[in-house]
């Protein structure tokens, strides 16, 4: 199971990070289901040196670039991975302002979100640039989390058909240049854009609809590679995930995890999502 928190540009200062980590650790300490990762609890909460461990889900926090090393310093001891929200496809050179995969790797980043709809909508990201970024990230040994999903909620069979065609094209292009041996490291996040907070209805999709699309995405991967690889790859859901609705997604057999945006910026809420994931046996 994979739980990804995308802070977007919600958290904007280093002071916010210290506060976040403090509250997150406390929330984790109180939770029943944090059990491989040590979460140090404050002596005021449970007695000095008491530690809890977090098992089960792989957790990734994706802060804005300037906060990567600060978050890594706090997250690594908890066994939480650090991810970036974007990347450039070239390895180095005269590209003012760009962040390359090698830079991310040197900052202990292990995952990179690629092709988020907010980058597609606001910064001209295309399926082609996504494809180049996926390869660049894999070449550096990192894991891309590729976001795909339709813009509008489909109304009727014609729109549904177009939605599947659209997502098929996104997945195929993202994988076009990927070497078969690297495929298993690719994560897909199905994020119907209309379900993302601030992007449309702001209402999550249903687990059943999300699962149907995720099964479809796995079928596309299988036709690109083979069924075994498709089965081994992780495909997760994102779009208005909260601690209230995550169980439905996480307990669905077809869904390998969730990507939470705004909910992940609230430490107690994010800790709750993780503990719900940790409690689910699949």
Residue 130 touching ligand PGA (CB under 6 A): no
Residue 146's SS3 state is: strand
Q: Does 240 bind ligand PGA (CB under 6 A)?
A: yes
Which residue has 């706090």 as its token pair?
74
The residue (of 4 and 39) whose beta carbon lies closer to ligand PGA is 4
Cβ nearer to ligand PGA, comparing 26 with 266: 266
Q: Based on the shown chain and the rule CB under 6 A, indicate whether residue 236 belongs to the binding site for ligand PGA.
A: no
Distance (Å) of CA 62 to CA 4, 110, 134, 230, 271: 7, 10, 17, 25, 15
Select the span of 72-80, 94-102, 210-218, 235-243 touching ligand PGA (CB under 6 A): 235-243
Return the closest-CA partner of residue 236 out of 249, 219, 221.
249
Q: Taking the alpha carbons of 243, 245, 249, 252 in that order, is the dihedral positive or negative? A: positive
Residue 250 near residue 1 (C-beta atoms within 8 A) = yes
Q: Which of 171, 85, 102 is nearest to 140 (CA)?
A: 102
**Shortest Å distance, C-beta 263 to ligand PGA:** 6
Catalytic residue (one of 81, 116, 118, 269):
116
CB atoms within 10 A of CB 130: 24
At residue 253's C-alpha, the angle toward residues 113 and 274, to 5°, is: 55
Q: Is 260 in the site for ligand PGA (CB under 6 A)?
A: yes
In b/e form, how buried is each residue of 80-98, taking b as 16+ CB within 10 angstroms? bbbbbbbbbbeeeeeeeee
CB of 228 to ligand PGA, least distance (A): 29
207 or 238, CB closer to ligand PGA?
Answer: 238
By the rule CB under 6 A, 262 interacts with ligand PGA: yes
Q: What mask of x and - would describe binding to ligand PGA in positions 172 to 191, judged by CB under 6 A?
A: -------------------x
74 a catalytic residue: no
Catalytic residue flag (residue 90): no
Please tell me the count of residues contacting ligand PGA according to CB under 6 A: 13
Touching ligand PGA, residues 4-63 (CB under 6 A): 6
Region binding ligand PGA by CB under 6 A among candidate stretches 32-40, 64-72, 84-92, 257-265:
257-265
Query: Which positions are annotated as active-site residues?
Result: 116, 191
Q: Which residues bind ligand PGA (CB under 6 A)?
A: 6, 191, 196-197, 238-241, 259-263
């Amino acid at each position: 199971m994979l739980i990804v928190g995308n802070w977007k540009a919600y958290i904007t200062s280093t002071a916010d990070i210290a506060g976040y980590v403090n509250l997150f650790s406390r929330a984790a300490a109180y939770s029943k289901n944090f059990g491989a990762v040590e979460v140090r609890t404050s002596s005021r909460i449970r007695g000095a040196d008491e530690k809890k461990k977090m098992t089960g889900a792989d957790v990734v926090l994706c802060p804005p670039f300037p906060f990567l090393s600060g978050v890594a310093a706090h997250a690594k001891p908890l066994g939480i991975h650090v991810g970036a929200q974007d990347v450039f496809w070239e390895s180095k050179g005269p590209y003012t302002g760009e962040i390359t995969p090698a830079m991310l790797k040197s900052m202990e980043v292990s995952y990179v979100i690629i092709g988020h709809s907010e980058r597609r909508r606001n910064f001209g990201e295309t399926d082609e640039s996504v494809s180049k970024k996926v390869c660049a990230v894999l070449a550096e040994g990192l894991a891309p989390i590729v976001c795909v999903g339709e813009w509008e909620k489909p109304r009727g069979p014609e729109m549904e058909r177009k939605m599947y065609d659209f997502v098929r094209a996104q997945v195929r292009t993202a994988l076009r240049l990927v070497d078969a041996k690297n495929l298993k490291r690719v994560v897909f996040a199905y994020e119907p854009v209309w379900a993302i907070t601030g992007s449309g209805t702001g209402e999550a999709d249903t687990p059943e609809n999300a699962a149907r699309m995720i099964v479809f995405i796995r079928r596309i991967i299988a036709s690109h590679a083979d069924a075994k690889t498709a089965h081994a790859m992780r495909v997760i859901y994102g779009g208005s995930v909260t601690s209230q609705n995550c169980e439905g997604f996480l307990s669905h057999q077809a869904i390998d995890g969730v990507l939470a945006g705004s909910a992940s910026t609230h430490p107690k809420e994010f800790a709750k999502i993780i503990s719900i994931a940790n409690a689910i046996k699949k």
